[in-house]
Structure 1
Amino acid sequence: MALLHATWRAARDLAGQGAPVLPVHALHVHHGLSRFADDWRDHCARQCERWRAEGADLHFHVRHLGLQPQAGESLEALAREGRYRALADMARGAGCRVVLLAHHRDDQAETFLLQALRGAGAAGLAAMPRAIEREGLRWLRPWLARPRAEIEAYVAAHRIAHVEDDSNADPRHARNRLRLQVMPALREAFPQAPLALADAAARMQDAAECLGALADLDLAAVRDLDGRTLQAGPLAALSPARRRNLLRHWLAGAGPGGGVP
């Protein structure tokens, strides 16, 4: 809600200075997982109406998800995938080219730790990118370097009505356990922990980009003429670390024409 408020006010101020009017579209995903989901949707719709009365060129969109997790399937992963698909569909339908997400520095620190605990490599430890192009849309996280405390102060200063998701207190979810049990103790022992972890994620983003570029170079040297198989000799000539890096890249299909047959 803070990001939406800041965005429409910035668009209004730019228009007041003679810039073209930038309509703002609020995209709400109704997951249908909480008994309060209808209340959250209605809250967002009412808030957008109030801000329109204050002069916001603001449009509200909602998409309902019919999530049906299968046995053994991660509900968190299913909801995340469905949420991003819905956001992309709504954005394109509204004629948007940019989607803003409100993740902050504390979120980034948590993501880095979760990925580390799952044994992720550089790509996973890179956590969330500040900007990325995907499926014709530019996804931006303008507050990724901002601590949660600054956002809370903004909400208080502007008296922005918001909703706390009750599931955030459920320790069955890994991120909640980390946020509720681990991060407070980590901050007490190391007050700069969120900043340090977010900085580490930024360095991993650089490392992942460099590893990808190296894998592209190695792939060009070892790929067979058919473009879909690798030559054993040149592959064996690489160091073990470079072989592992190349194979991860190739198996993920990240290289030009890459991927497994």
Structure 2
Amino acid sequence: MAVSGGPDSMALLVLAAAAFPEAVVAATIDHGLRDASADEARMVAREAEGLAVPHAILKVDGPIAGASLQARARDARYALLADWAEQRRAMAVATAHHADDQAETFLMRASRGSGVSGLASIRSAAVVAGASVVRPLLGWRRAALRAIVRRAGLPFVDDPANSDPRHDRTRFRQLLDRNEWLDPPALARTAAAVAEAERDLGEIALLMWRERAEISPETVTLDPSGLPRDTLRRMVRRAIATVRAAHDITAPAFDESANIEPMLDTLLDGRRGTQGGVVAGRRRGRWQFRIAPPRRSL
């Protein structure tokens, strides 16, 4: 379990310790972003010990700075958790995301014009940084989790970043708090419905991949004829990932969040494009993907 010391994660600690005695372990990430972070991590360690839950404090190497501070902290956090879970041979990493988090995420992504994949918001299970991640509290409200911690008599920390209006999530949290007609459970249910549609679209794309993809040691060839854009988008992403894996390409970066719309437009226009170290173009009505040639130095 990832336990930050906030009320949500402390509730996860209490609930998991009661439901799975001697079967869970916990870790707290010390990002080094605040002076109090080390003390907060030690607080979690003490409470975990009282619940007979083994606990580790994981520290981020080097300072986290620059733009998108929260995103950088998230990446560092999940990388540490994935490595720790592998060392412990854990089945999965559990986080304390709940229904209010889900509602906030849905609104944030809707405001940015996200597609189906983005609007699916926080998945109940996912793979992050190579680790299986589960979110068992998505059906719980923030207030209920806080009440559990208080009844258990455990301390918790309110991260000041959660009330900092410079962060997008804080602004959307305040929007929900100030407008009762915006119902977080209803928004969470909508996100769950979109996630179900996302899974179905993924299964359709996988079926088309099996029927229309030809894979050789050097190339991936797709038959795009008659397929809707969403299916093509997923197949192109998989084709790029397949070529990269076959040739051990690690740079430039490419993952599930990469924007492939320009590449898709290029292929649909019958032109040739490059993304993630992979070049693709049309040949005899099909799309071919292969490792991009090295750039010539001047």
TM-score range, shorter chain: 0.7 to 0.9
SS at structure 2 position matched to 1:24: coil
Give the superposition deviation at 1:222. 4.4
Using the aligned pairs only, state the percent identity: 34
> Mind listing any 5+ residue stretches in structure 1 that lack a counterpart?
13-21
Superposition RMSD on alpha carbons, in Å?
Answer: 2.6
Give the superposition deviation at 1:60. 1.3
Q: How many residues align?
A: 236
Instruction: State the distance in 2 between where 1:33 and 1:255 align.
Output: 36
Give the superposition deviation at 1:103. 0.8
Aligned counterpart, 2:176: 183
Instruction: State the distance in 1 between where 2:39 and 2:234 align.
Output: 44
Instruction: State the distance in 1 between where 2:209 and 2:87 align.
Output: 38
Do the aligned partners of 1:28 and 1:41 also contact (CA within 8 Å) in 2?
yes
Give the superposition deviation at 1:57. 3.0
Aligned counterpart, 2:188: 198
> Mind listing any 5+ residue stretches in structure 2 that lack a counterpart?
1-9, 245-277, 279-289, 291-298
Instruction: State the distance in 1 between where 2:215 and 2:48 align.
Output: 57
Aligned counterpart, 2:226: 238
Structure 1 residue aligned with 2:141, among 147, 150, 168? Answer: 147
The alpha-carbon distance between structure 1 residues 66 and 118, as it changes in their structure 2 partners (threshold 3 A), is farther
The alpha-carbon distance between structure 1 residues 251 and 76, as it changes in their structure 2 partners (threshold 3 A), is farther
SS at structure 2 position matched to 1:58: coil
TM-score, structure 1 normalization: 0.80
Per-residue CA distance 1:39-94 (angstroms, 9 max, x = gap): 21121122223x1xxxx4321101111354565x4211111111111111112222
Q: Residue 27 of structure 1 aligns to which amino acid in structure 2?
A: A
Higher helix share: 1
Per-residue CA distance 1:204-234 (angstroms, 9 max, x = gap): 1111112112222333454456484545xx5
Aligned counterpart, 1:31: 31
Aligned counterpart, 1:8: 17
Structure 2 residue aligned with 1:132, among 120, 126, 137? Answer: 126
Aligned counterpart, 2:201: 211
Do the aligned partners of 1:32 and 1:66 also contact (CA within 8 Å) in 2?
no
Instruction: State the distance in 2 between where 1:258 and 1:207 align.
Output: 28
